[in-house]
Amino acid sequence: MIIETDNLTKMYGKKAGCREINLSVGEGQIFGFLGPNGAGKSTLVKMLVGLLFPTSGTARILGKPLGDLEIRRKVGFLPENFRYQDWLTGEELLTFHASLYKMSRAEKARRVPEVLEQVGLADKGRQKVGSYSKGMQQRVGLACALLPDPELVFLDEPTSALDPLGRREVRQIMVELRDRGKTVFLNSHLLSEIEMICDRVAIINKGRIITEGALAELLAGAVEVEMQVEGLSAQLLDELSALYGSYQVEGGLVRLSLKNNEDIPALAEAVVRNGGKLFSLNARQNSLEDLFIDLVKVGDEECLQ
């Protein structure tokens, strides 16, 4: 495992940053870490990159305990609130970060132009960071994170300042990293972005992980169906109720939820067998946004009880 945490907890005085986090992130995947504002995402990432000490619990990164210096050289990090030295040029900033990574002179000379190219700033390296747009500053931050060709890279909202084209380019960079066997730990509020590229996700709310798994499996459940049916008999409605629990009828439209796509043929068959005329059937798979809102809402309601 590339990241393994065991009951990792951070308390800020009496307030929890995150509690009893047990996560495993495997090699060569893009792992999406999401949660509402103040849920504990940055707290966890800061502990994993060594900026905060856990209050209790342990974690291993690339097989070594937190704080191992050799491992830190193999880890990249783009923080959420990036702010770099305005007076340095892009090249100078990267050269400084390369020194922090203890790169040799030759390595610096090779990697700095490479990462500038990778993030689309090849012709801006001699320009002062203070004159960069917000999107360019985010790109140079990403370049810092990619500098050591990391085995594991933490990206906290890496596309928040980028235009749609820039977002696509950064997604492409993340996918390329994964294709080269690297692991990307991605914090993002852009659920569509997470849905597009992540292999696994975890959702955190109020400091605790509330779900974790392969994205495809998490989204495999609940399919919302809307059917236009003529001839809705009591017998048909009884069967729908017996098979699928609740349903709603409005005019000739019937709406219900199925556990997954596999149940669609049986539903159509039940309508026809009970004398219904099926004019249309539209099925919509739950999106990550639906899942996120449902889970976070349930968590909040439980807290109020």
Ligand X SMILES: Nc1ncnc2c1ncn2[C@@H]1O[C@H](COP(=O)(O)OP(=O)(O)OP(=O)(O)O)[C@@H](O)[C@H]1O
Residues that bind ligand X (CB under 6 A): 12, 15, 17, 35, 37-43, 80
Minimal CA–CA distance to 21: which of 36, 43, 52? 43
Query: How large is the angle between the packed helices 90-100 and 105-118, nearest 10 degrees?
Result: 130
Gap between the Cα atoms of 202 and 173, Å rounded: 21
> Between residues 40 and 150, which has the closer beta carbon with respect to ligand X?
40
Minimum gap (Å) between residue 42 Cβ and ligand X: 3
> Between residues 44 and 112, which has the closer beta carbon with respect to ligand X?
44
Minimum gap (Å) between residue 150 Cβ and ligand X: 21
Using CA of residue 234, residue 239, residue 242, residue 248, what is the dihedral sign?
A: negative
> Between residues 101 and 292, which has the closer beta carbon with respect to ligand X?
292
Spell out the residues 6+ positions from residue 300 whose beta carbon is closer than 8 angstroms to its own. Answer: 205
> Between residues 79 and 148, which has the closer beta carbon with respect to ligand X?
79
> Between residues 22 and 127, which has the closer beta carbon with respect to ligand X?
22
Minimum gap (Å) between residue 130 Cβ and ligand X: 25
Gap between the Cα atoms of 54 and 34, Å rounded: 20
Minimum gap (Å) between residue 165 Cβ and ligand X: 25
> Between residues 40 and 276, which has the closer beta carbon with respect to ligand X?
40
Minimum gap (Å) between residue 21 Cβ and ligand X: 11
Using CA of residue 100, residue 102, residue 104, residue 109, what is the dihedral sign?
A: negative
> Between residues 17 and 120, which has the closer beta carbon with respect to ligand X?
17
Cβ neighbours of 196 (radius 10 Å): 16
Minimum gap (Å) between residue 1 Cβ and ligand X: 23
Minimum gap (Å) between residue 16 Cβ and ligand X: 7
